[in-house]
Structure 1
């Protein structure tokens, strides 16, 4: 059993719908510290964890968030992508694909663990959390293969929460 937990946190450890979003600070793609506490309770948030910059599904997912970014803005939501890639990698990824949202570097994977994002064997998981204006998680979506569906699921959840 302990071996399985090494590969994937137990379901009890995962942040679920109805939970308050945990606050954290991480460096963004410009090397500035982003503190979630400064935005929680002020606007809806879409926090998505992804495995790696410039990989096929991750790029499709990021570009889908980019292509729907105006819709997220109309709903007042802040989009935040998080992976263990470093600041320089995030900066190149954001510039290469014209990503208008924040990318955070979780190099030691502390925030990933804080949220209880599961792994698939050794690959970091792909999970999106939609958080309402009050800091409560109103929707989660977990899919390794369908990066674009993270965007449609998030938009639907935000529209329902309005």
Structure 2
């Protein structure tokens, strides 16, 4: 069993490493961080935002973390989006997004959201892109032990 696990691990690593031509698809990393103070009707706290972004000619990964903590309430939002262009049709891309959210002010103990779909670069420009996306999404929330599920 251990030998088959080792072979599977080596096969997966080889596939990932050899799956891209590094000379044509080199990655660029960026990260952003921001922090500050929050004051909401006599309630003080701190807020923070962190984003790390990996992009290349054909793929894009983005992790975002936003949070604030007050004396009586807190909000946490974590989101990861991964997308890759179709090499034959580079104006189209596929993507997956997963997000977790906790908001004590709204009574949300935990909400998670997943979607995946197809996107189109409508108008690329040097500072970003105008895009359109179509996707299927799944959402589940725990509102004080009352589970609400939606799929849209």
When normalised by structure 1's length, the TM-score is 0.24
Higher helix share: 1
Higher strand share: 2
Greater length-normalized contact order (CA 8 Å, ≥ 6 residues apart): 1
Larger Rg: 2
